Amino acid sequence: MSAAETLVATGNRAHSHGPGSPVPLQARSERPTSYDVADFAVPNGREEEWRFTPVKQLKALFDDAAGTETPKIDASGPEGVVFETVAADSLKVGKPQDRSAAVAWNHAGEAFAVRIPVEAELTEAVHVNVASLGARGFSHLIVEAGRHSRAIVIIDHTGAGELSSNVEVVVGDAAELRVVSIQQGDHESIHLGQHDALVGRDAKLHHVVVTLGGKVVRIGTNVRYAGPGGDAELLGVYFAEGGQHHENRLFVDHEATNCKSNVLYKGALAGDKARSVWIGDVLIRAAAEGTNTFELNRNLVLTDGARADSVPNLEIETGEIEGAGHASATGRFDDEQLFYLQARGIPEDAARRLVVSGFFNDIIGKIGVPEVTEHLHDVIEEKLARAAELSASAKAVVGQ
| Of residues 67 and 331, the one with the C-beta less far from other proteins | 331
If the CB atoms of residues 84 and 348 are measured against other proteins, the closer one turns out to be 348
- Determine if 339 is a binding residue for other proteins (CB under 8 A): yes
Whether residue 14 contacts residue 315, with contact meaning beta carbons closer than 8 Å, is answered with yes
Q: How far is the CB of 54 from other proteins (least distance, A)?
A: 31
Q: Can residue 337 be called a binding residue for other proteins (CB under 8 A)?
A: yes
Q: Are 269 and 302 in contact (CB under 8 A)?
A: yes
For residue 127, count other CB atoms closer than 10 A to its CB: 17
| Edge-first strand listing for the sheet containing 72-76 | 8-9, 323-332, 292-301, 260-270, 231-241, 204-213, 176-184, 150-159, 126-132, 72-76
275-303 exposure pattern, b = at least 16 Cβ within 10 A, e = fewer: bbbbbbbbbbbeebbbbbbbbbbbbbbbb
- Residue ranges of alpha helices (H) inside the chain are 25-30, 59-62, 99-107, 335-342, 348-367, 370-399
Q: Give the x/- contact pattern for other proteins in 345-374, rule: CB under 8 A.
A: xxxx-xx--xx-xxxxxx------------
- Selected from 342, 375, 386, 390, the binder of other proteins by CB under 8 A is 342
Minimum distance from residue 343 beta carbon to other proteins (Å):
5
341 binds other proteins (CB under 8 A): yes
Angstrom distance (rounded) from CA 25 to CA 315: 6
**What is the spatial distance between Cα 260 and Cα 265, in angstroms, rounded to a whole number?**
17
Q: Residues 6 or more apart from 347 whose CB is under 8 A from it?
A: none
Instruction: Provide, rounded to whole angstroms, the least separation between the CB of residue 341 and other proteins.
Output: 7
344 binds other proteins, rule: CB under 8 A: yes
Nearer to other proteins, 38 or 343 (CB): 343
Number of residues located near other proteins, criterion CB under 8 A = 25
Q: How far is the CB of 198 from other proteins (least distance, A)?
A: 34
Minimum distance of other proteins from residue 247's CB (angstroms): 25
Q: Is 265 in the site for other proteins (CB under 8 A)?
A: no
Nearer of residues 282 and 341 to other proteins, judged by Cβ: 341
Alpha-carbon span 377 to 372, nearest angstrom: 9
Q: Within the chain, what is the greatest distance between any pair of CA atoms?
A: 67
Question: Residue 10 or 357: which CB sits closer to other proteins?
Answer: 357
Residue 377: CB partners within 8 Å, gap ≥ 6? 357, 364
129 vs 391 by CB, closer to other proteins:
391
Site residues (CB under 8 A) for other proteins, limited to 268-297: none
Q: Which is nearer to other proteins, 112 or 360 (CB)?
A: 360
Q: Is the Cβ of residue 210 or residue 329 nearer to other proteins in the bound state?
A: 329
Q: Which is nearer to other proteins, 191 or 298 (CB)?
A: 298
Coil, helix or strand for 330? strand
Give the interface segment with other proteins, choosing from 81-89, 94-102, 329-337, 380-388 (CB under 8 A).
329-337
Instruction: Indicate which single residue of 3, 343, 397, 398 sits in contact with other proteins (rule: CB under 8 A).
Output: 343
Number of H helices, E strands in the chain: 6, 20
Residue 346 φ then ψ, to 5°: -80, 125
Distance of closest approach, residue 385 Cβ to other proteins, in angstroms = 17
Q: Which residues of 30-62 are buried (b: 16+ CB within 10 A; e: fewer)?
A: eeebbeebeebeebeeeeeebebbebeebebbb
- Work out whether 391 is an interface residue with other proteins (CB under 8 A): no
Q: What does the alpha-carbon distance between residue 123 and residue 338 come to, in Å, rounded to a whole number?
A: 41
Which is nearer to other proteins, 314 or 341 (by Cβ)? 341
Counting contacts by CB under 8 A, is residue 318 touching other proteins?
A: no
**Pairing of the two strands 72-76 and 126-132:** antiparallel
1-30 residues near other proteins, rule: CB under 8 A: 1
Interface with other proteins by CB under 8 A: which residues? 1, 334-337, 339-348, 350-351, 354-355, 357-362
